[in-house]
Amino acid sequence: MEDILLISNIQRDDKKSFKKLFVSYYSPLCEYASQYVPDHYAEEIVEDLMVYLWENRQSLQISSSVKSYLFTATKYRCLNAIKSQQCHQQKHSEIYDALHVHFEDPDYYLSGELADQIEKAIESLPDSYKEVFVRSRMQEMSYQEIANELGVSKKTIEYRMSNALKLLRTALKDYLPLMPLVLYRLFL
């Protein structure tokens, strides 16, 4: 019953109630999430869930117990993270296989020119797009980490990255057949 009151207060922008909810559930949720994913991912998943709760506090619809809601949400976020990681590993494997073929290809030696064109294209991006692209792709920061550092929303980071990638695809359209090879050499 107390948790329902906390949620009700949180929906009315009560930061103390949110802090109480956070303190009560953060550690147990991290421990639960670490059964699915490594500890550092578990913490990030729980933090993202808490941020989601705060950002969407006005529209929260919790029909079960708050505890049940939080643990279920954590479980599904963990499963989504695992699925995303598996997709990433599959793509990595496909790129590796494709690169193996390209190393034997005479066009491989043209990749130096492509690398120069990629660097020029990145430098030509608007500063806000370039900053997000570099942090995400070269420094391997998550969108949430970038958003926190820049003091903007995760959606803003997603928007900037989407536009940066569109601009890069347009700038490099003539080089797309060689792109996997050079991206591998530049970023891996």
**Element containing residue 188 per DSSP (H, E):** none
More confident residue, 109 or 79: 79
Least confident of 16-20, 34-38, 40-44, 100-104: 100-104
Give the single-character DSSP code of 110: G
Mean pLDDT of 64-89: 85
As a whole number, the mean pLDDT across the chain is 82
CATH ID of 105-187, from 1.10.10.10, 3.40.50.2300, 1.20.1600.10, 1.10.1040.10: 1.10.10.10
Residue range(s) of every CATH 1.10.10.10 domain in the chain: 105-187
Which class is 2-81 in CATH?
mainly alpha
pLDDT at 179 > cutoff 60: no
Q: Provide CB contacts within 8 A for 133, sequence distance 6+.
A: 122, 125, 160, 161, 164, 165, 168
Closest Cα partner for 114 from 159, 58, 180, 53? 180
Terminal-residue alpha carbon distance, the chain: 51
Residue range(s) of every CATH 1.10.1740.10 domain in the chain: 2-81
User: What letter represents residue 188's amino acid?
Assistant: L
Q: Read off the pLDDT of residues 126-166 as tens digits, 9 standing for 90 and up.
A: 999 999 999 988 888 999 999 999 999 999 999 999 999 89
Q: Read off the pLDDT of residues 20-35 as tens digits, 9 standing for 90 and up.
A: 999 999 999 999 999 9
pTM of the model: 0.47
CA distances from 71 to 13, 35, 49, 77, 167 (A): 23, 12, 10, 10, 40
Q: How far apart are CA 146 and CA 131, in angstroms?
A: 9
